[in-house]
Structure 1
Amino acid sequence: MEQQTRMNLGYQQPYRWQDHFQAYEDKLEQCEPLESLWNLARRLRLLTRLVEHYRAYQQPYGAIHDPYSEQERYYSTPSYALAAAVLVSQGRTDLLESAASALTCSIQALVEQRAPDGHPDFFPIMIMGAYRILKPLLPQQALHWQQQLQQIEPEATYVFTMSKMNNPNRMINWNAIMLSGEYMRYAEGLSGKDTRWMDTYLQRYHVPRFTSLGLYQDGPLNMPNCPFAYDIVTRYHLTLMQLAGYAGETADVVQELLWRGARSSLLMLSPLGEWPTRGRSSQHQWNEATAALIFTVQAIREAKQGQSKLSGAFRQAADLTWEAIERWQTEAGDLHIVRNYYTPEQRHGYEIYTNHTCYNLWTAAALAYAIDYGEELESITPYPTPALCTSYTLETDGWFQTILSGVAGQQLVWHTALNDPYNIPGLSRIHRAGISGLIGPSSAGYRDQGFTRFAEGEVFPLIHAPAWQTEDGAWHQLADGIRTTVPFDCDAGVDPSDGGGGYRIVEARHEEQMARLVLEWSGPLPGGVRQIQAIYEQRPGIVQVSYRMMDADHSSIRRLGAWIPLFMYDGKEAAVLEVSKTLESTLEVDTAIESLHLRYSNGRLSLRCLTPGSTMSFPPEASHVASRNGLLKGVRLESTQDSSCIAYELRLEKHDPSL
């Protein structure tokens, strides 16, 4: 593990996952093509249902109102303008007036500096996309749009600029988003400036944030918090800037970083088409929508370079992200914008800034761009993504503090930071192809939920992680983490070295249908523990976990245990939990062994303890735990004979919900 006290210039290092990507390409040569399940008609159907849903909330002057707060929110209106304009370009001429009205409203709000909720930085990328499509269809109206757009002064109009903030640490994703739209305005001849001011922002504040993997570290430059959502969305906007023809001073390095990031994204995508969880805005549908554009663009680029199978893998990745979003589209056409079924009024798993209409329409806008730039995608034959055909273990670089490992059709995700109460340490996600992503579960609990709010449930650090009971009877766990010298700030990051703890990968081994990962966590850990080892071995549908106390003297440990999070409720459907107990007689002792089965949606999760003399309990403090997806329930395995080792097995298989 890289222990960093400040962000290093990782982008200057060689691509860290080159060997992993080469191994995948070698495997890809043996793969057969896949049946194409997505086409332009299906993509348009999803987008059309979204746009038509919100057309009903358009005001006479063009704005889109949020039905829950009954007002225009954030950048809903320019997002609608872009999505509707792309549908117009695809033959929906009945939407022309609606799209133009939304565009006029958006341009006026931006020029007059009255963007809703103080979010003007997000306007230009959507405005310019809609403008390019609509201007030849409405030439007289376009003259008025041009006159208004020429009035924009970036340093005065937008929020995240050095003129407004005079703080390099605040030049985060907002600034990059603004730059992408401003470049499109420049490319249309509507800006009196050249690109040198954009080059300065990119060189000083954005390029240094990239790791060798091409991942963007959002947050303060000196202590980034690195949400995966704001990595993918920043790269999405820089990709749009590149597609618009950016050729400034940083063009070559940005191109290289986006090339790396696209490959890393392909390796990281789950078999269900979902982006990894880490940090704020996790599991919002726009994560996958922005990924769809990145995968679409890279698929077309690889095809032009003659890389037919790799191109097909990127095309399959794009299809999977569309499918991940479609699962959450309602009968009315809008989306559950976070992956649960609570009503929008309940705001479960929402961030404090999350808005139902805005994030539906931003998702629509990103999907619209994927359609707009994806005309050649239909000619590309899909091939398996890494998560569908290979065994691998990937350790992120920079401050992302995440490990991903998988076998064909299955992926596990760990968070490794011991001192970050928002991203608690342990095995956070289990996904298997063909089975609901929530049952694994798909996200953990929290020690501090940061920006995230819940309709119900308690905040508790519930994750697959070791636990131990000390002689005083108190239980501790790895997820309790280590206190830092700097108080946690959900708007900033946590220095990985603060507090003195850490981890290292002892072993990472892969075979055709097996992946084995051995981690060692080092303290000072709660309860006086200095070191504990975690061993994870997975095969398709099977995950075996064991924890070993590595302290030379662990006499102060009465029992070793393991927390297992069970997914119980998604806001609409409750899981069914079945607990069984058998009596296993041996020559030496009668050992009570408990096992359990959990049924949810189309999946069945089975838990079995592998350590003789161990029992399961359901501690009350973890009976009703809030997670992004709903509610979790914690079961704790507890050793009764050996305080140095405990192990369990999870099986994840399909289940017919009608039975």
Structure 2
Amino acid sequence: MPRNVEEEGERGHDTLHGPEGVRPVLPVETLREAVESYAPYLQASGEMHDPIFGEPTQYGTPYHALCNAVLAREDSGERRSAYADRAVRGLGAALDHVSGPGLPPTASGFDGATGAVSRSNHRDFFWPPILKTFLILRDLGIDGAEGFAGRISGVDIEASFAQRPPSNWAAVWLSGEWLRLREGLSPFSTGRLDLWLDTFFETHILAGQGLYQEPGHPNSYDLFTRYHLADMLMEGYDGRRREDLERLMRTGLRRSLGVQLSDGSLASAHRSTGQTWTLGAECAFFTHASNYFRERDPELAGRAEEAAYRALSSFRRWQREGPYSPVENRLPPGHRVGYERYTADGHYANLAAAFLAVAVSNGLNRHFTEPPGGREASFLLEHDPTCRAVLHNGIYSMHFNASPAPDYDAFGIVDLTFGPGRFLQLVSSAKHLDSGRFLNPGMASSSGAELALIGRMEGGLTPPRLELRARGRGSPYRYHFAARVETEGVYVEEATPGLEEPKSLLIPYLRDPGTGTVTQARMEAGRVLLVHGPEEVEISYSAPVRRVVHLTGSLQSRRGLCGLLRIEFRDKSQSISYRIRAVR
């Protein structure tokens, strides 16, 4: 009989958003649910207040206004006027803030230890939602909408906005400024916008790799920046850099398809991964790409559309009781699990919803059920500057980071996913709160030394596989890693050639994502089972086991509170091998 080492019972499983029995819905219904969850925090002035801090945070106001404008356009019934009224009030409040650079900035930094708030200028982010909201309201013929044109034309963006190209912030306001110019409301010319775009392409965009660079190479802000440049292209930009934007659309789509995991989320790497706005941004970017390639490359357009609905699957999972979550877990916002220092519900959740609103506006509108999860075998292997690999096959995706950011990730398998519609995924490095150490699934290091890549990673497609060598700092022994992603699971072998010693396998796992269900760990001969409601993941191995140590506290990942299994093998060896698969 299996031995249950988790004494807590289940508290019930979320069936509405689980893998079975999900009713088909339109994406706009998912958008409406997220937007309505913030309606209690919308002030008469049009400002959006954060549910925790009770004041505007960063740029929540204009993005909530955009969501309501889209809902007004999508709803031909009695609710249209209410959505339009919210959008008008929000647009007015957003323009008040952008037009007055001397006004106090909104709350922008949040100390997770003490709750202290800091402030800085985030007006850069207001510009696209202001322009998009205005254009929707004007096209709907909403009373007073035309009156906003004069206010928009009078904004001095160089006085109001904090950053300049090639900052990702500047890509945001630049996409908004293109809309202002297109509508004849800007003092600038297309040639001036071209000069701003030049800076991006000269220093920070690796067009051949489809990658926008900033310190740490976060997957989040690569996507974020490329989305805003893609939005310029799809909104009719016709300047000198159009061919560069068209090339980036193709190479960037290739990268975005590669770094999207099988559950629809973005592979973890550096900051802001695990924020739900990345899921909304995937919906928006992939929808733009699908539209762009519909006539040019129908097969690629279909892959982009499929990826948009895969991202929507992940987006839907994080609707909490109450306000939609800005992070990929459903724990209460006061826990701040998965939150960055700049994360707050009022702006990041509304940013996520606004990206989804853009996708809905551009054609993400068919009835939706959970995607089947099967993907063709593929892999993305990046050397300089990211040193990452993402492998896909069927329901499985594996992301290996060989050059992690010290404050965010650990060397090794950072993400392992088992398809859409599930909560039990091994996503993001788990952080031990007392020591600050980050842990991934894999062989425990006897020395504790950080591993560094030696040479190049090698990969193949049939099946997707990865091999690499590394060395712990100061160690005379090399570390070898080999993995292959089959349709029936992920097979891994790790070794320290020449170093024969008792080996241990660490499995940090998601224990509590805030859904009301706690993962249980069960031991059987040759395997460990992780059970989360109807979901079950197996870690199997053939070597004899001396003992299994199970820890259930002091660990958390971007997905929630974590546990840790330490599987200690009995005999000395130079290597270990194991398989991880979804049983159900």
Q: Report the TM-score when normalising by structure 1.
A: 0.76
5+ long unaligned stretches in structure 2: 1-21, 108-120
What residue is the counterpart of 2:149 in the other structure?
146
Q: Distance in 2 between matches of 1:418 and 1:109?
A: 38
Q: Quote the Cα distance in structure 2 between the aligned partners of 1:213 and 1:610.
A: 43
Q: Which residue of 2 aligns with 1:443?
A: 428
Distance 1:330 1:466 in 2: 35
Residue of structure 2 equivalent to 1:227: 218
* Amino acid of the structure 2 residue aligned with 1:329: Q
The 3-state SS of whatever aligns with 2:531 is strand
Partner of 2:185, secondary structure, is: coil
2:505 aligns with one of 562, 570, 585:
562
1:99 corresponds to: 87
The equivalent residue for 2:68 is 84
> How many residue pairs are counted as aligned between the two chains?
543
User: Do 2:262 and 2:392's aligned partners in 1 also have CA atoms closer than 8 Å?
Assistant: no
Task: After TM superposition, give the deviation of residue 398 of structure 1 in Å.
Answer: 4.1
For 2:538 and 2:231, locate their aligned partners in 1 and report how far apart those are by CA, in whole Å.
45
**Alignment correspondent of 2:336:** 347
Matched, 1:420 2:406: yes
Equivalent position of 1:598 in the other structure? 530
The code of the aligned residue for 1:653 comes to V
Q: Name 1:519's counterpart in structure 2.
A: 468
Question: Tell me, what secondary structure is at the counterpart of 2:561?
Answer: strand
Deviation per CA, 1:455-483: give whole Å up to 9, x if none: x7763221123334xxxxxx334xx426x
Deviation at 1:87, TM superposition (A): 1.2
User: 1:358: which partner in 2?
Assistant: 347
Q: Deviations over 1:576-632 (max 9, x none)?
A: 11224x5xxxxxxxxxxx632210133212223323x44344276x85322111233
Q: Which amino acid aligns with 2:378?
A: Y
Matches of 1:120 and 1:394, distance apart in 2: 36
Q: 1:421 & 1:75 partners in 2: Cα distance?
A: 26
Q: Secondary structure at the match of 1:72?
A: coil
Do the aligned partners of 1:457 and 1:626 also contact (CA within 8 Å) in 2? no
1:203 corresponds to which letter in structure 2?
Answer: D
Answer with 527-536 or 351-360: which moved more: 527-536
Aligned to 1:534: 481
- Contact 1:609/1:637 (<8 A) preserved: no
Conserved in 1, the CA contact under 8 Å of 2:66 and 2:130? yes
State how far apart, in whole Å, the 2-side matches of 1:624 and 1:597 are. 21
CA distance 1:637–1:529, change in 2 (3 Å): farther
- Structure 1: runs of 5+ lacking an equivalent: 1-36, 162-167, 448-455, 469-474, 483-499, 583-593, 655-659
Instruction: Specify the alignment match of 2:319 in structure 1.
Output: 329
The 1-side partners of 2:425 and 2:38 are apart by 33
Task: Quickly say closer, same or farther: Cα 1:457–1:313, change in 2 above 3 A.
Answer: farther
1:110 to 86, 98, 104: 98
Q: Does 1:288 align with 2:275?
A: no
Amino acid at match of 1:399: P
User: In 2 relative to 1, CA 317–76 (structure 1 residues): closer, same or farther, beyond 3 Å?
Assistant: same
Q: Distance in 2 between matches of 1:413 and 1:287?
A: 17
Whether contact under 8 Å (1:233, 1:287) holds in the other structure is: yes
- Give, in whole Å, the separation in 2 of the partners of 1:116 and 1:515: 47
Which range moved further: 54-63 or 633-642? 633-642
Deviation (angstroms), 1:537: 2.8
Query: Pick from 15, 38, 47: which aligns with 2:31?
Result: 47
Paired residue type of 1:226: H
Q: Answer yes or no: is the 8 Å Cα contact 1:207–1:254 preserved in 2.
A: no
Aligned to 1:157: 160
Residue pair 2:26, 2:366 contacting (<8 A) in 1 also? no
In the alignment, structure 1 residue 198 sits paired with structure 2 residue 198: no
Residue 60 (structure 1) shift = 1.7
Task: Choose the corresponding residue for 1:125, options 118, 123, 128.
Answer: 128
**CA deviation map 1:101-121 (0-9, x unaligned):** 110111111011235242100
What is the one-letter code of the residue matched to 1:230? Y
TM-score, scaled relative to structure 2: 0.85
Whether the 8 Å contact between 1:440 and 1:567 is mirrored in structure 2 is yes
Distance 1:562 1:251 in 2: 50
Q: Which residue of 2 aligns with 1:14?
A: none
Greater mean deviation of Cα atoms: 319-328 or 526-535: 526-535
SS of corresponding position for 1:66: coil
* 1:301 has 2:292 as partner: yes
Could you list the per-position Cα deviations for residues 116-151 of structure 1 after superposition, in whole angstroms to 9, with x for gaps in the alignment? 242100001000000001124457634432222122
CA distance in 2, matches of 1:98, 1:68: 21
- Please report how far the alpha carbon of residue 446 of structure 1 lies from its aligned counterpart in structure 2 after TM superposition: 4.4
One-letter identity of the residue aligned with 2:361: D
- Aligned residue for 2:376? 390
Question: Looking at CA atoms only, which structure, 1 or 2, has the larger radius of gyration?
Answer: 1
Task: Verify: 1:510 aligned to 2:496, yes or no.
Answer: no
Equivalent residues of 1:289, 1:366 under 8 A apart: yes
CA 1:443–1:501 in 2, change beyond 3 Å: closer, same or farther?
closer
Higher relative contact order (Cα pairs below 8 Å, separated by 6+ residues) = 2
